[in-house]
Amino acid sequence: NAGVTQTPKFQVLKTGQSMTLQCAQDMNHNSMYWYRQDPGMGLRLIYYSASEGTTDKGEVPNGYNVSRLNKREFSLRLESAAPSQTSVYFCASSVGGSGTYGYTFGSGTRLTVV
Amino acid sequence: KNEVEQSPQNLTAQEGEFITINCSYSVGISALHWLQQHPGGGIVSLFMLSSGKKKHGRLIATINIQEKHSSLHITASHPRDSAVYICAVTHSGAGSYQLTFGKGTKLSVIP
C-alpha cells in the first residue's frame, strides 16, 4: 500500500548509544516531518523538511539531527541517546506545507532508552 | 494555555450513541485536522477543513472560524470507533509548516 514507511517499529537503546530512524514515502510528497509523542502531551515537531534539500528545526530539536536523503527519504538520528528521548516517533509527509494539504503518517517507532 | 484544547479528555459511550468531541484553538489557522489513533497504532487523517462541514460515512466534522472552534461527531457509534481522536491546526502565515496538536480525546465505545 502507498504511504509512509518507518523502520524500525521498536528499539531499545542504552544511554549514549546512537541510532537512525528511517522514513520513506512513495506518494511523491514534497514535505516530510518527524514528530514525537509523549504521554499527556500532544505530538511535537522535532524537524521538518519543506522540500528536498532543505531541513528546519521544529519545537523540540535538541539531541536530534535529520537528513533529507532524497525526495522519498527523511531520516532522524539520535547521536547520543538519553532517557528523555524515550518516546514514540512518527514520520509524516504532505504534498506541501501551506495548510491546504492533508498529512499522511507512518505507523510509528517506539523507542526506549535505558 | 495550550494553543489547541480538546474536550472531553476521556469519553465512554454505549454502542449506537451520538458522540461529539470538541476542539478550540487560539491562533490563526489555515486548516484544522482531525486524526484518529488506535491503541498501539499509527495515526490516520480523518478530515482536513478550513470552513464549513465535511462528512465521511458516520463521521462529521464542522468548523466555525469566527469562534475558533471545531467539532467531530460520530453517529451510531460502534466499538471499532474506540480510539484517541486528535485535533491539530496548521498555523497561518510564516509558520505554516507546523502542526500544533491537541492532547487528544480517548473514546471508548461499549457494546
| pLDDT tens per residue across span A41-61 | 889 999 999 999 999 999 999
Confidence of residue B40 (pLDDT cuts 50, 70, 90): confident
B90 in contact with chain A, both atoms CB, cutoff 8 A: yes
State the CB neighbour count (10 A cutoff) for residue B36: 20
Backbone torsion region of residue A28, taken as left when φ is above 0, otherwise alpha when ψ lies between -120 and 50, otherwise beta: left
Rounded mean pLDDT, B40-60: 93
Would the pLDDT of B2 be above 90? no
B101 in contact with chain A, both atoms CB, cutoff 8 A: yes
d(CA B69, CA B54): 15
B31 in contact with chain A, both atoms CB, cutoff 8 A: yes
Give the rounded percent of residues in chain A with a pLDDT score beyond 70.
95
Residue B64 · residue B70 · CB < 8 Å: yes
Cβ distance B98 to A108 less than 8 Å, yes or no, reads no
Residue labelled with grid coordinates 470538541: B22
- Write b or e for each residue in A58-78: b if 16 or more Cβ atoms lie within 10 A of its Cβ, otherwise e: bebbeebebebeebbbbbbeb
Residue B111's alpha-carbon distances to B41, B60, B82, B107, in angstroms, are 22, 22, 11, 13
SS3 state at A75: strand
Q: Which of A8-17, A60-69, B39-48 has the lowest mean pLDDT?
A: B39-48
- Report the chain A residue with the minimal C-alpha distance to residue B46: A102
In whole angstroms, how large is the CA radius of gyration of chain A? Answer: 13
